[in-house]
A and B are shown apart, each in its own frame.
Chain A
Amino acid sequence: MFEKWLYRVLIGLFLLQVLLPFAGLIQFTLVGGSGALSFASFATLFSDPSFASSLLNSLWLAASAVLLSIVIFTPPVWHAYLYAPRLLRVIEAVSFVPFVVPAVVLALAYVQFFSSGPLDLVGTPYLLPFAFALLGMPFYIQVFLNRLRHADARAIHEAAQTLGASDFQAFVRIQLPLLRSGIINGSLLVFTISIGEFTITQLTTGGSYSTLPLYLLITFTNNPLEGSAMAVVTLFLAVAGVVAALSAASSRRRRIHAVTASEEAS
């Protein structure tokens, strides 16, 4: 009995510890200004034209990073999974590069490498989608591989080939629809990472290109209330991305369960 209550208390303490700062943030945004409940901070934020433009910049960068991830990572991971398991292990290992090379080191490397010659990209936003795709690479590849392993992609591909499809035809018309949920979930993670990225954006553009996180810090320094409203919005965007990825994964699993259950029943 004592043990059970101890565990409950521990779980409660955990929730308190991780949720308290966010409760504080939301309370400050809603009642911090006047002491009475008010949505004025959000009204200020949404009527701020710089907020709209930085949101647009962030969305554009995140969408480009997602597109790059899909185009660059999907075909080789799929091909290596089917035909070259040893190569797949190499790709997986390399995909963890961002864990050993943190954003600040990448930024340092980029400002030196992309500062001259044909790839003079420092100070422009064109470097960023590639950097974000690199940061999202381990997540995209893990999620996509997960889907590959669950979908029995190999057997289905062999069946398509037996029926006379070429590799390319089978990849585009059979495998891509089959692996769609993996691609979508991976994309959502890359999107979430891109929306929140601060370090590389600030250090390679020198703050000249305003994205959501960059504008958030400036706003918070000038007007804490509007800044924290923006933190709430950013948080909401990120939570929406992760929740969408999770629920897509679980509904997919439920559907598969339903299908196998009905097959077993019949």
Chain B
Amino acid sequence: MRKTSLIFVYGPLLVFLALFALVPIIGVISSSVWVRGITSEFYAQSLSGQYLNAFVTTIKVAFWSGLVGLIGGGLAALSLWRTRWRWLTTAISALAGVLANFAGLPLAVAFMVTLGASGLVTNALQALLHINLSQMGFNLSSSGGLILVYSAFQVPLALLVSLPAFSSIPDDLEAAALSLGCGVPGYLWRVLLPILAPSLLGTFALLFANAFSAYVTAYAIAGGSINLVPIQIGYLIDGNVSLNVGLGNALAVEEMVVLGASLWVFALSVRLRAKRRAKVKGAMTIV
């Protein structure tokens, strides 16, 4: 192909990436450390007071919703894999694919009308069992409430991501373990879990990143009453941009560092899994 036609093939993509990703993001990074000279004041500001609290809350929500997601989704994936119902696995993965992408407004609205202050389940519990959720300290816009809401997309996402790891386990592994005198619980706990550990860690890292960057769900449910990093960045944009651009940029860079690190762990686990699988296969052929 001639060089001129290569420009038509790759040119649009290059211009698009430069204009809508590369240059704006470099702008954010550079103006987080530069106002008439190099400065670290925005980072100092972003790691103190309410902004530091925002990091603590965001990490808390991301950690717990990730853990709930990992356990719930992991157990569901294990069950699907062990029951060997092909059609059910296909149907549930399709369902999980749809649900994992509903970390948006419909989900927030669904929770508000179900578990909100005058939601259906809230009212039903009050009327039927005389349980008052808000008197018990439950509040949908608290961090505990958000962890519950986030689980609705974290669990299906964990199922989707961990299912391939389960199905990559060779069938004769169980037979080998059982013939060596290991019961089913022992097989699950002492053989399967160590093999799957890197995949599960990677899944957790992905879920953590997913919750750490979630904005819409939290914004719709809690608005200003919960202090999260993405919400703080949103406020800095929504308010007056010229007010404190540097601070917003510093928060954005910190957010990208956290996400980058989490996704790096995820990518690492995927690579490790491939290596591990090759090793297990090798061991099986020796056996």
Question: What residues of chain A have their CB less than 8 Å away from a CB belonging to chain B?
Answer: 3-4, 6-8, 10-11, 13-15, 17-18, 20-22, 24-25, 27-28, 32, 68, 71-73, 75-76, 79, 83, 91, 94, 96-97, 99-115, 119, 130-131, 133-134, 167-168, 192, 196, 198-199, 203, 206, 213, 216-217, 220, 224, 227-228, 231-232, 234-235, 238-239, 242-243, 246
Query: Roughly how many angstroms separate A232 CA and B92 CA in the complex, as a whole number?
Result: 21
Contacts A109-B24, A111-B241, A112-B241 given; does A21 touch B107 at CB 8 Å:
yes
Query: Roughly how many angstroms separate A78 CA and B73 CA in the complex, as a whole number?
Result: 35
In the complex, whether B202 has a CB less than 8 A from a CB of chain A is no
- B111 nearest CB across to chain A (Å): 5
Query: Roughly how many angstroms separate A180 CA and B110 CA in the complex, as a whole number?
Result: 36
Are A25 and B80 interface neighbours, CB within 8 A? no
Partner of A192, one of B31, B92, B101, B238: B101
Query: Roughly how many angstroms separate A199 CA and B213 CA in the complex, as a whole number?
Result: 11
Query: Roughly how many angstroms separate A109 CA and B18 CA in the complex, as a whole number?
Result: 13
Chain A residues positioned under 8 Å from B88 (CB to CB): 11
Sampled A-B contacts (6; CB under 8 Å): A18-B156, A22-B110, A28-B119, A103-B213, A109-B24, A109-B252
Are B106 and A11 interface neighbours, CB within 8 A? no
Chain B residues positioned under 8 Å from A228 (CB to CB): 109-110, 113
Chain B: which residue is nearest A21 at the CB level? B110
Query: Roughly how many angstroms separate A232 CA and B110 CA in the complex, as a whole number?
Result: 9
Chain A: which residue is nearest B73 at the CB level? A14
Partner of A11, one of B27, B92, B259: B92
A interface secondary structure, majority: helix
Chain A residues positioned under 8 Å from B255 (CB to CB): 102, 104-105
Contacts A24-B121, A108-B249, A199-B216 given; does A113 touch B110 at CB 8 Å:
no
Chain A residues positioned under 8 Å from B115 (CB to CB): 21, 24
Query: Roughly how many angstroms separate A196 CA and B103 CA in the complex, as a whole number?
Result: 10
In the complex, whether B138 has a CB less than 8 A from a CB of chain A is no
Which parts of B105-137 form the interface with A (CB within 8 Å)? 105-107, 109-115, 119-121
Question: What residues of chain B have their CB less than 8 Å away from a CB belonging to chain A?
Answer: 1, 5-6, 8-10, 12-13, 16-17, 19-21, 23-25, 27-28, 31, 72-73, 75-76, 78-80, 82-83, 88, 92, 94-99, 101-102, 104-107, 109-115, 119-121, 151-152, 155-156, 159, 184, 209, 213, 215-216, 219-220, 230, 233-234, 236-238, 241, 245, 248-249, 252, 255-256, 259-260, 263
Query: Roughly how many angstroms separate A15 CA and B93 CA in the complex, as a whole number?
Result: 11
Are A234 and B72 interface neighbours, CB within 8 A? no
Top 5 nearest A-B pairs by Cβ distance? Answer: A24-B114, A109-B24, A102-B213, A7-B79, A25-B110
Chain B residues positioned under 8 Å from A83 (CB to CB): 1
Chain A residues positioned under 8 Å from B8 (CB to CB): 75
Chain A residues positioned under 8 Å from B113 (CB to CB): 24-25, 28, 32, 224, 228
Chain A: which residue is nearest B184 at the CB level? A3
Are B259 and A113 interface neighbours, CB within 8 A? no
Chain B: which residue is nearest A198 at the CB level? B216
Are A130 and B20 interface neighbours, CB within 8 A? yes
Chain B: which residue is nearest A75 at the CB level? B9
Query: Roughly how many angstroms separate A149 CA and B104 CA in the complex, as a whole number?
Result: 32
Interface centre among A27, A76, A114, A192 (most CB of B within 10 A): A76
Partner of A112, one of B28, B82, B97, B233: B28
